Amino acid sequence: MASIQRSGNKWRVQVFVAGVRSSTTLPTKQEAAKWALEREAEMRGSKLPDRTLLEAMRRYVKEEAPKRAGEHWERLRITAWEKSMPMIGRRLAAIDSSDITNWRDSRLAQVKPGTVAREMNLLRSVFETARREWKWIRQNPMADVRWPQQPKGRARRILPEEEVALIEAFGLNGPLKAETASQRTGLAFLLALETAMRSGEILALTWPNVHLVDQYVHLPKTKNGDARDVPLSKRACEILRALPLGFGPVFQLDGATRDTLWRRVRDKTPHRDVHFHDSRAEAIWRLSKKLDVLQLARVIGHRDLASLMIYYNESAASLAKQLG
């Protein structure tokens, strides 16, 4: 129901739908009446708001991205899209699956399928938030779009000789030291081997969240958005005790510095194919010998037990020995 009243030399119009009020002021009574009809239809769901993809992305960055672990990447990606995405200025409700498919195929000609899949996940989140939370669209145009086929995730184990060579290259084959950034990078690698923590989780670790007496560290925010506690082996505690105590980040490294130093030291060895992230696959393999599958999933932060199969690759012959 609409209420239109003169307010000075203008007209104030109010619309009430299901206990919700919306109002504005317009120059003429005719404009006020027209606005009332359109706004009432919009509030009843019979008409969609006239919003663009650009408006949806900017609202997403402001309201939704801060809730997510990948906020920084999402902000950078959406900023880049504002300058390069062909459909950025289109009305949100006018975008359909063919538009998404054309954009997907264009991106596949430029970057790897894994990158496109990650970008599509973000774009789907923008559309889905606009549909479910803001009621700007009735359907997600990406619902029927196929994701690009991706290669299987890398789950390479680290060979004993590779581990020895890397420990020596970082100068950690004797007493553990943390005097240089290179040594702290090596210690981060050793901690990853003990805990299966991701590089970002290790670098974000702060001393108030390290509990050496009880042998665990607390991660307030992880990749999937959940907090989790990671148990520490005696070796992991030894690694952490080698680092200088403080109140800030334990390793005093950012991601770019860690990556640069890792590559620089690793490339001095014959094992240039070893990635820092390979420590996670190796650690998960080692932990799988000590923990049952539910304990393992909790320690490494996997919600989907099936995803553990990427890392768990024990041979049938080895399993047969356990059967007796």
Which positions are catalytic?
Answer: 198, 223, 302, 312
Cα-based angle 158, 162, 167 (whole degrees, multiple of 5): 110
Rounded Cα gap, residues 174 and 192, in angstroms: 19
Smallest CA-to-CA distance from 300 within 281, 272, 323, 322 is with 281
List helix spans (H) across 142-233.
160-169, 181-195, 199-203
The total of other beta-carbon atoms located within 10 Å of residue 50's CB is 13
The total of other beta-carbon atoms located within 10 Å of residue 17's CB is 16
Residue 145 · residue 139 · CB < 8 Å: no
Q: Looking at the DSSP assignment, which residues form a beta bridge with residue 15?
A: 2, 22
